[in-house]
Amino acid sequence: MTAELEVCGERLVPRPDRSLFWPGPGALLIADPHFGKADAFRAAGVPVPGDSAVPLARLAAALDATAAVRLIVLGDFWHSRDGRTDRVAADLAAWRAARPNLRIELVRGNHDRAGPPPDGWGGWVTEVAEPPFRFAHFPDPSDAGYTLAGHLHPGVVLGRERLRLPCFWFGPRVGVLPAFGDFTGAARVPARRGDRVFAVAGSAMVDLSMR
């Protein structure tokens, strides 16, 4: 189940896999995959589950479902240097080799100090301006266009049991995507009346917009 909205005259589709599809140019956006995070924790002696193959499989499914021809990553591709293991590198290389014609644009995030992108994925850019949008890592408003960004790992808290869910949050000048990576957490967003908020609840999208 998907949701959709119109921003600056363009149709956007927030998806339960935590990607955002822009049908006009066939672009799929994700933010904060934090590849190698679980590996970094294990390198520090913390026995956590997870590996890069799971989010990569989810990303492949999203590309197949939308028939997207472009992938835009809104920063924090990496988590840390310790997470750039041989296993993660191999997973990323195999994934990219299977999609040689996919156009990829990587916006550099604060965690991407961990090192350059993997071979075949291109290089870092500071931002991408493509009217009416500006693609960035930090969710700062700009005269260059409506900003689509990441960094915050936005989330909402629901019900008496205080269930915390990742969400998409669209304000008047900035839209923020949930973290695409697993094991990343979610920070509650200060949504205001008029904002559009879509929570990710398993395979469903829940419209919690502040009307």
Q: What's the pLDDT band for 18 if we cut at 50, 70, 90?
A: very high
d(CA 89, CA 36): 9
> What is the structure's pLDDT at 100?
95
The mean pLDDT value for 115-126 works out to 94
CA dihedral 180, 181, 183, 186 (to 10 degrees): -30
d(CA 211, CA 191): 11
> What is the structure's pLDDT at 46?
61
Distances in Å between the Cα of 156 and the Cα atoms of 46, 190, 202 are: 27, 9, 14
Q: What's the pLDDT band for 40 if we cut at 50, 70, 90?
A: low
- CATH class held by domain 5-207: alpha beta
The mean pLDDT value for 153-181 works out to 90
Angle between helices 53-66 and 86-97 (to 10 degrees): 20
> What is the structure's pLDDT at 43?
67
For residue 66, how many C-alpha atoms fall within 13 Å in the half-sphere facing its CB? Answer: 30
Is the per-residue pLDDT at 2 higher than 90? no
Peptide bond into 132 cis (omega under 30): yes
d(CA 177, CA 104): 18
pTM, two decimals, is: 0.94
> What is the structure's pLDDT at 62?
97
Percent of the chain with pLDDT over 90: 73
Pairing of strands 20-22, 10-14: antiparallel
Is the per-residue pLDDT at 94 higher than 80? yes
> What is the structure's pLDDT at 47?
62
Mean pLDDT over the full length of the chain? 91
Sequence spans of domains, the chain: 5-207
Q: What's the pLDDT band for 24 if we cut at 50, 70, 90?
A: very high
> What is the structure's pLDDT at 190?
86
Is the per-residue pLDDT at 45 higher than 80? no
